[in-house]
């Protein structure tokens, strides 16, 4: 009878040391709560001179966060987020402002946007014929 009690005590101590004191509680741990009620909207934007992002070294890069508030290294984060919201997050829906007067000089500028907009993955690349044309798309989104 004493040997049985010793074995039971030894097994209990071994199980506690191997599994930890709250081994059963770990299975019932609730899922972590999200840090925010907003879907993430975090973007990294780059700009370089050339014909495609694959062949260009980025000369400038900024970050843009739009939820829950506008922030990041973009110089006009609030305005850029407002432009994106107005376009429904569709960068291809942005069009040139009417009345923009640009030369036809060809000095290509590539803009890339990668990240997440309202929880959905974004990968965008556009080559503009020159800086003026890039600036004519929106008011502040590509002005960095």
Tokens found for residue 100: 């923009």
In this prediction, residue 40 carries a pLDDT of 86
Kindly report the average pLDDT of the chain as a whole number: 83
Tokens of 48: 């370089």
Q: pTM for the whole thing?
A: 0.71
Instruction: Catalogue the E-assigned strands of the chain.
Output: 42-49, 60-65, 109-117, 120-128
Q: Is 115 inside a domain boundary? A: yes
Please report whether residue 21 resides in a domain. Answer: yes
Q: Which tokens in the block code for residue 121?
A: 């993955």
Q: Indicate which CATH number applies to the domain containing 81.
A: 3.30.350.10
Judge whether residue 126 has pLDDT over 70.
yes
**Is residue 142 situated within a structural domain?**
no
pLDDT tens for each residue of 1-53: 555 555 455 545 555 554 555 555 555 566 555 555 667 899 999 999 999 99
Dihedral angle computed from the Cα positions of residues 56, 125, 63 and 61, in that order, rounded to the nearest 10 degrees? 20
For residues 7 and 48, state if they share a domain: no
Which residue range forms the structural domain that includes residue 8?
A: 1-30
């Amino acid at each position: 009878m004493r040997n049985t009690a010793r074995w039971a005590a030894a097994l209990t101590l071994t199980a506690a040391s191997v599994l930890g004191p709250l081994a059963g509680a770990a299975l019932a741990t609730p899922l972590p709560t999200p840090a925010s009620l907003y879907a993430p909207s975090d973007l990294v934007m780059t700009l370089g001179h050339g014909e495609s992002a694959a062949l260009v070294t980025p000369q400038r890069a900024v970050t843009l966060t739009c939820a829950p508030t506008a922030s990041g290294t973009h110089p006009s984060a609030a305005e850029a987020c407002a432009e994106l919201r107005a376009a429904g997050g569709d960068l291809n829906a942005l069009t040139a402002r009417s009345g923009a007067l640009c030369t036809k000089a060809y000095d290509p500028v590539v803009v890339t946007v990668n990240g997440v907009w309202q929880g959905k993955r974004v990968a965008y690349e556009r080559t503009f014929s020159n800086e003026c044309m890039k600036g004519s798309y929106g008011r502040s989104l590509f002005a960095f």
